[in-house]
Chain A
Amino acid sequence: MGDGLRAAWAIAGKDLAIEWRTKTALVSSVAFAVLVLAVLYFARDPTAVGAVDVAPGALWVTFTFAAMIGLNRAFLLERENRALDGILLAPVSPRAVFFGKLAANLVFVGTVELVSLPLFVLFYDVPIVRGLPALLGVTAMATVAFVAVGTLLSSMVVRTRFAELMLPLLLLPFLVPPVVGAVQATARILAERPLSEVQGWLKLLAAFDIVFVTISTLLFEATLEE
């Protein structure tokens, strides 16, 4: 177990080191997030719909779409020189590889989210301070959900010709439960309602997380070349 964790850590560290060196995906994702936030702000009739009403939806569309841009890089970088073969030749379990990639993806997406959040507050003028811990908690739960499935799917999709298109096509259905839950919870939090009101959604998010992280971990091995 300790070995696996060490390997996962090494893989995650390596991925992030490489990403940091080029920074292309990170910058693109953040720029994309800013653009989406801005466009969605204007995509309404301001006299009929307040910014704070569209805010939760806008935030989550932004997060998920910006994340999808970054998810494929995790496995694309392994294909370049078949480096993944090098990893698999070492005594590393597929589980460790998955956790390493998942961790790197979570850091990547988390960074995009953290950078976009202040901009979101700025653009949509939402009261965030009191609900911040709850918001961060909900964000973490929903992010784990779609990044776990996204990591699994990207390991398959990078082998196809239209990886950029295939990932959203396959991943979007899996975004429905976590995103709906996150938007509902976010709306309540921004409206400064008590958290007990969103218990149902939080339970759904938690259940989704547990089920899909487990399933993705188990299925990952089947996506490696055999």
Chain B
Amino acid sequence: MSREKAEALARRGTVLTAVALLALAGVYLRALLFTPIERFQGPAQKIFYVHAPAAWSGLLAFAVTGLLSVLYLWLRDRKVDLVAAASAEVGLAFSVIMLTTGPIWAKPIWGTWWTWDARLTSTLFIFLLFVGYQVLRGAIADPETRARFSAVIGVLGLVLVPFIHMTVYLFRTLHPDPVVMKPGAPSLPGEMQVTLFTSLGVFTLLYLGFLAQRYALAVLRDLKDEEAGRAVS
């Protein structure tokens, strides 16, 4: 990708992110002022409109990284690696948001900061896999080796998460928790559904915006390195 194209992509990404953030502010307003308060959970439930979509974005990022990892191993195209890595970084950020908003929501609702249900546990491990991915990348100097090794982890992680989900599910069905709870997306009445789905859409846009910016940044850095390399030799 040429410098002009990368800068154009970065600009477009920034615009997209700005739009998404504005939309996000709109969603908050709607959630706080115009969406009814949930009967059982109270105002605290509203953080759900951030938490669930953040989890969705994290999961999306994870899937993208995983699938691009497979693609990289097949095509060995450097750009594929850069997008996968960008997605992993963005996904890491969303995972952090998800893991911090989750307990904040859970405490007033369930009475506990954390619980080991299939969904939460899977998302925790997605976070940990993202961390591992970044650490591995940071530990390898050669770009081609880095891309290959990251892709290996990406593929392994993608295959692992369903197993973790299954494991925890089995664990819980055999060890039902005494506390009655309804984790995850409950059946919501109309108003709330609209807010939720809008939020999901906004977070997806946010993911794409961040991804575009991060990828463009990676390409620009790459170009700079290439020029530096050429200057020396």
Contact = CB atoms under 8 A, between A and B. Distances in A.
Interface of A: 149, 152, 156-157, 159-162, 166, 169-170, 172-174, 176-177, 180-181, 184, 200-201, 204, 207-208, 211-212, 215, 219, 222-223, 225-226
Given A211-B159, A219-B156, A160 B125 contact: no
B21 interface: no
Nearest to B132: A170
18 contacts: A156-B136, A159-B140, A160-B136, A160-B139, A161-B139, A162-B139, A166-B135, A173-B132, A174-B160, A176-B125, A176-B164, A184-B171, A204-B166, A207-B163, A215-B155, A215-B156, A222-B149, A223-B149
Task: Give the interface size class of chain B.
Answer: 20 to 34
A170 B167 contact: no
Contact of B136 (A170, A172, A226): A170
B38 to A, nearest CB: 33
Contacts of B148: 222-223, 226
Contact of A219 (B131, B145, B152): B152
Given A174-B156, A215-B155, 8 more contacts: A169-B135, A173-B157, A176-B164, A177-B167, A180-B171, A200-B174, A226-B144, A226-B148
A100 B58 CA distance: 38
Contacts of B157: 173
A219 B150 CA distance: 12
A72 to B, nearest CB: 14
Interface of A is mostly: helix
Contacts of B155: 215, 219
B217 interface: no
B181 to A, nearest CB: 21
A45 to B, nearest CB: 21
B129 interface: yes
A202 to B, nearest CB: 11
Interface string B137-155: 0011000110011011101
Contacts of A156: 136, 149, 152
Nearest to A169: B132
A181 B167 CA distance: 8
B22 interface: no
Contacts of B223: none
Nearest to A207: B163
A177 B148 CA distance: 25
Contacts of A161: 139
Nearest to A165: B135
B170 A201 contact: yes
